[in-house]
């Protein structure tokens, strides 16, 4: 069964801490994405990547960075966590990269619920 | 700019009743349309997708959706809802090529016994 795995289901961190959220996929997908999900706001794209060492800003990149050193792993980094970053974080992946391949949709991980206190 | 609206924030239906969740989109080119479901505390699972051809598409768990270009809509339906269908449902639109989606804000479905 193919999957996207997020390393933690729940995390509690203190304000000012550096936080790493890890995501691994086993489908050889080129594209990987990080979203945050908040009630009433839906899913908002933070960063995405089309290939190893490539990254692109999404709609709300402020306060976040990402790392993609290997194709299967995409990490989201909160450089200095703040309470307004308390949220559900969802990782997703899909085929394609920069090739012209049809858009078949994403495979999502189960999410990491982060609380910053 | 592309956008997706889901007019209903929360819908409650009785078990066994029919269901229709609304989705309207704004998109400059031919859209690829998707419905995802998110059970409590889980990630999103793809229910169905529309690329081209027959405007009525079938998905998993007994769901179907109809694409109506003239109304810019892609409504999700199920003839008889089960208690396990209680979840949040997201509509999304993307391009034929290119990997980014725009998601709607979601509709939360509650099912009464």
Confidence of residue A106 (pLDDT cuts 50, 70, 90): confident
Place of tokens 């029919």: B18
Confidence of residue A17 (pLDDT cuts 50, 70, 90): very high
Instruction: Write the CA distances from A107 to A25, A111, B78, B112, integer angstroms.
Output: 9, 12, 23, 30
Which has the minimum average pLDDT: A90-99, B16-25, B37-46, B93-102? B93-102
B18 CB-near residues (< 8 Å, 6+ apart): B77, B78, B79, B80, B81
The minimal CB distance from A105 to the residues B9, B34, B41 is found for B34
Residue A5: alpha-carbon gap to chain centroid: 11
Confidence of residue A102 (pLDDT cuts 50, 70, 90): low
Mean pLDDT of the region A56-74: 95
Contact A43 B41 (CB under 8 A): no
Pairing of strands A23-25, A4-6: antiparallel
Residue B71 φ/ψ, nearest 5 degrees: -105, 0
Q: Tell me the CB-side half-sphere exposure of residue B59, using CA atoms within 13 A.
A: 22
Is B96 in CB contact (< 8 Å) with chain A?
yes
Residue A116 pLDDT > 90: yes
Q: What share of chain B is helix, strand, coil (3-state, %, to 5)?
A: 10, 55, 40
Interface of A with B in 39-58 (CB under 8 A): 40-43, 45, 48, 50
Contact B106 A48 (CB under 8 A): no
CA torsion angle B92 A93 A89 A1 (round to 10): 110
Residue B28: what pLDDT?
78
Is A94 in CB contact (< 8 Å) with chain B?
yes
Contact B99 A109 (CB under 8 A): no
């Amino acid at each position: 069964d193919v999957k996207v795995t997020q390393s933690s289901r729940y995390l509690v961190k203190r304000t000012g801490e550096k936080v790493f959220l890890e995501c691994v996929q086993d489908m050889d997908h080129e594209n990987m994405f990080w979203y945050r999900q908040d009630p009433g706001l839906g899913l908002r794209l933070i960063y995405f990547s089309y290939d190893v060492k490539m990254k692109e800003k999404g709609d709300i990149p402020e306060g976040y960075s990402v790392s993609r050193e290997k194709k299967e792993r995409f990490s989201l980094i909160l450089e200095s966590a703040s309470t307004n970053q308390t949220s559900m974080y969802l990782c997703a992946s899909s085929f394609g990269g920069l090739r012209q391949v049809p858009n078949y949709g994403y495979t999502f991980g189960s999410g990491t619920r982060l609380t910053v206190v | 700019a592309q956008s997706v609206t889901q007019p209903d924030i929360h819908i409650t239906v009785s078990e066994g009743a029919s269901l229709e969740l609304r989705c309207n989109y704004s998109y400059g080119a031919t859209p690829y349309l998707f419905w995802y479901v998110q059970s409590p505390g889980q990630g999103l699972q793809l229910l169905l997708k529309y690329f081209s051809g027959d405007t009525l598409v079938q998905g998993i768990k007994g769901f179907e959706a109809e694409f109506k270009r003239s109304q810019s809509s892609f409504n999700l339906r199920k003839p008889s809802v089960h208690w396990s269908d209680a979840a949040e449902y997201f509509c999304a639109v993307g391009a034929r090529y290119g990997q980014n989606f725009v998601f709607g804000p979601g509709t939360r479905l509650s099912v009464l016994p």
